[in-house]
């Protein structure tokens, strides 16, 4: 089963919220937390093995969906740093289901925060 594990050696940036990083076979979850440890935003990357995308939610911007340009250009130069590029519609229900299946080992407050936000995305259609 594809479940998240926490990566403990996460680089922290001064004057920015604390970051926690969780990884599964095909998902990456970065969660930004306030001083008390409560989640305040996240970035959930998916389809890492092919056509990677990322959904980011912050209180300032709401939802932003991007494709990940992995920096491969097929030439003889070194691989460049991956960057986020604009991308269109995505299947919010598919990502929500994949997250739910992988989230059993996440801290409950983080699983609930991300799961709730995913269900609030405008593309999400509640099950009848």
Q: Which are the contacts of 82, defined by CB distance < 8 A and separation ≥ 6?
A: 68, 69, 70, 71
127 assigned to some structural domain = no
Task: For 77-122, write each residue's pLDDT tens digit.
Answer: 555 555 555 666 789 999 999 999 999 999 999 999 999 999 999 9
pTM, rounded to two decimals: 0.85
pLDDT at 66: 87
Number of structural domains (the chain) is: 1
Q: What letters, b where the CB count within 10 A reaches 16 and e where it falls short, cover 27-64?
A: bbbbbbbeeeeebebbbbbbbbeeebbbbbbeeeeebe
Per the CB < 8 A criterion, the answer to whether 67 and 52 are in contact is: yes
Q: How many percent of the chain have pLDDT more than 70? A: 83
In a domain, 24, yes or no: yes
Output the pLDDT for position 30: 97
Residue 45 included in any domain: yes
Domain with 23, as residue range(s), is 5-119
Q: What is the Cα–Cα distance from 38 to 126, expressed in whole angstroms?
A: 26
- Residue 43 placed within a domain: yes
Whether 11 is covered by a domain: the verdict is yes
- Does 25 fall in a domain? yes
């Amino acid at each position: 089963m594809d479940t998240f594990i926490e990566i403990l050696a996460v680089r922290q940036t001064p004057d920015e919220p604390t970051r926690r990083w969780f990884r599964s076979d095909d998902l990456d979850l970065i969660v930004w937390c306030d001083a008390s440890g409560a989640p305040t935003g996240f970035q959930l990357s998916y389809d890492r093995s092919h056509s990677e995308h990322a959904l980011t939610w912050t209180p300032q911007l709401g939802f932003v969906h991007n494709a990940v340009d992995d920096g491969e250009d097929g030439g003889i130069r070194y691989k460049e740093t991956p960057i986020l590029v604009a991308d269109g519609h995505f299947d919010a229900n598919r990502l929500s289901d994949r997250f739910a299946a992988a989230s059993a080992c996440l801290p409950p407050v983080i699983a609930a925060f991300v799961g709730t936000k995913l269900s609030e995305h405008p593309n999400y259609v509640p099950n009848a």
